[in-house]
Amino acid sequence: MSGAVSTGGNIRLLDETLAAARAEGRSALIAYLPAGFPTVDGGIAAVKAVFDGGADVVEVGLPHSDPVLDGPVIQTADDIALRGGLKIRDVMRTVREAYAATGKPVLVMTYWNPIDRYGVERFTAELAEAGGAGCILPDLPVQESAQWREHAEKHGLATVFVVAPSSRDERLATITAAGSGFVYAASLMGVTGTRESVGEQAQELVRRTRATTELPVCVGLGVSNARQAREVAGFADGVIVGSAFVQRMLDAEDEAAGLAAVRALAGELADGVRGTA
């Protein structure tokens, strides 16, 4: 399909963005926001706002009715989006408009079931045509990913897999060998003990993952402020922040206040990953 070619290589933009952050001696700031929250238009405006505030990359969530890996904050936003009638075409529109407005890398984070139902070829072709840089697929087993990876590669899309502290070294190597763009290292802050111990656990996961790959390793760790972003930036190639942005939107009295809040948070976190906060 010509659309993938016309974007100039979607994954290349992601690779160049992460490499540029590394060249500056800092981690990349990766923000997550669900499509369709609080509305489709409001979600598009929110993605633009976090880019304006200083995010390097944005993950657009594809809301799912059974988000087994998402916490209550993101589940709340997903429910709002789904009750609003969100469709996959709205997710594609979110990617298209955010990318067109900023020229920055936009990925989709989604569970496998919606892609499977929509059709892998259709989904990858439309995402590439929209200017998307790739997909994060938290529940797609690597051993079942060949069809996805074939189509993603054809359309110049990154395939980002998730690793966890429970992943053994051999498993890490299998996962990272199949992925592209970056590796998403998941470690939940405050769930398995004190924040310090979870930070150490994440740092160890990054070390183990880097031993298997040249890909950047980005950490989703429950980071919600500049100090935490600075801490994680000390050992990761990217700092991924989701719930904190969504919470700012949920707490805002109206959409304009929500946009101002996420733009401000992105600015604080951008200072954090640069070590200037």
Residues involved in catalysis = 59, 70
* CB-CB neighbours of 262 under 10 Å: 28
**Location of structure tokens 């009295």:** 253
Supply the angle between the helices 146-154 and 120-129 in degrees, to the nearest 10.
Answer: 30
- Whole-angstrom distance, CA of residue 204 vs CA of residue 182: 17
Q: Residue 36: which of 96, 77, 97 has the closest Cα?
A: 77
Cβ proximity of 34 and 60 under 8 Å: yes
C-alpha 35/C-alpha 46 separation (Å) is 9
| CA 260 to the chain's CA centroid | 21
Q: How many CA atoms lie within 13 A of 218 on its CB side?
A: 32
The stretches of the chain forming alpha helices (DSSP H) are 2-6, 10-23, 40-53, 72-83, 88-102, 112-118, 120-129, 146-154, 169-178, 195-210, 226-233, 243-251, 255-273
At residue 58, the 3 state secondary structure works out as: strand
CA distance 68 to 65: 9
- How many other CB atoms are there within 10 angstroms of residue 97's CB atom? 20
The secondary structure element, H or E, covering residue 239 is strand 238-241
